[in-house]
């Protein structure tokens, strides 16, 4: 496939996201996502962040295998999770679960600095190469247990978790700045909800369930 082919498919992906946002507006509380998020989705080439044999399917609105029993999230979920963070150009973002780096690239397009942690070394090395090829120089990537966060660079304006814990890890709550937001899937495997966690200026937490989701489980160093 040629770059114009991929561009046409990417435009179709944006239309799918816009239509799904309207259909899920009751859950989301709005019928359109932030234009900055949609622009980032338009600019980042998803086909550069999927396995080579899956490139023809890169812009379909569905998750795709990334190896190691993991998946790259469907574009609609990537867009919604990014939108919920309400990213600002000055934000420092912690991402747990780099995968092959697609969500990382979207975050890097919208924030000042992204700190991303991936527990599977092979995925982390691939993501580092893919992000470098796309010119994302504002990403620091570490191999390790994401449930502990990255305390050396805390606190963070925003936190995104792309794998599901049963309960929100305390370290991630602690490393979120007052006034910050965290978005993550959480809950038991058959009852996961996409969650928005907000910490007010005084440090008090509030949580909101967005809609049901199904994500890979958040691994720790002992189980993973």
Q: Which residues are catalytic?
A: 73
Q: Which residues contact 26 (CB under 8 A, 6 or more apart)?
A: none
Tokens of 213: 């989701």
Cα–Cα distance, 209 to 27 (Å, whole number): 9
Tokens of 174: 């602690």
Pairing between strand 113-118 and 92-96?
A: parallel
**What ranges make up the beta strands (E) of the chain?**
64-67, 70-72, 92-96, 113-118, 139-143, 156-161, 176-186, 193-199, 205-212
Candidates 29, 32, 6, 28; CA nearest to 18 is 32
The end-to-end CA distance of the chain, in Å, is 36
Tokens of 79: 């867009």
């Amino acid at each position: 496939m040629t770059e114009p082919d991929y561009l046409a498919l990417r435009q179709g992906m944006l239309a799918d996201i816009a239509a799904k946002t309207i259909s899920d507006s009751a859950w989301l509380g709005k019928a359109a996502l932030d234009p900055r998020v949609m622009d980032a989705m338009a600019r980042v080439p998803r086909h550069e962040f999927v396995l080579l044999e899956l490139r023809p399917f890169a812009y379909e609105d569905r998750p795709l295998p990334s190896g190691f029993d993991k998946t790259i999230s469907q574009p609609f979920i990537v867009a919604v999770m990014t939108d919920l963070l309400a990213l600002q150009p000055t934000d420092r973002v912690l991402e747990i679960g780099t995968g092959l780096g697609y969500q990382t690239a979207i975050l890097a397009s919208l924030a000042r600095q992204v700190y991303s942690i991936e527990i599977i070394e092979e995925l982390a090395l691939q993501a580092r190469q893919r992000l470098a090829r796309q010119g994302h120089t504002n990403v620091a990537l570490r191999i390790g247990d994401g449930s502990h966060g990255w305390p050396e660079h805390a606190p963070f304006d925003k936190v995104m978790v792309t794998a599901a814990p049963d309960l929100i890890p305390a370290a991630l709550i602690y490393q979120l700045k007052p006034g910050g937001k965290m978005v993550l899937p959480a809950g038991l495997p058959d009852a996961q909800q996409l969650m928005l966690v907000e910490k007010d200026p005084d440090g008090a937490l509030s949580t909101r369930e967005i809609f049901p989701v199904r994500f890979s489980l958040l691994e720790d160093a002992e189980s993973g």
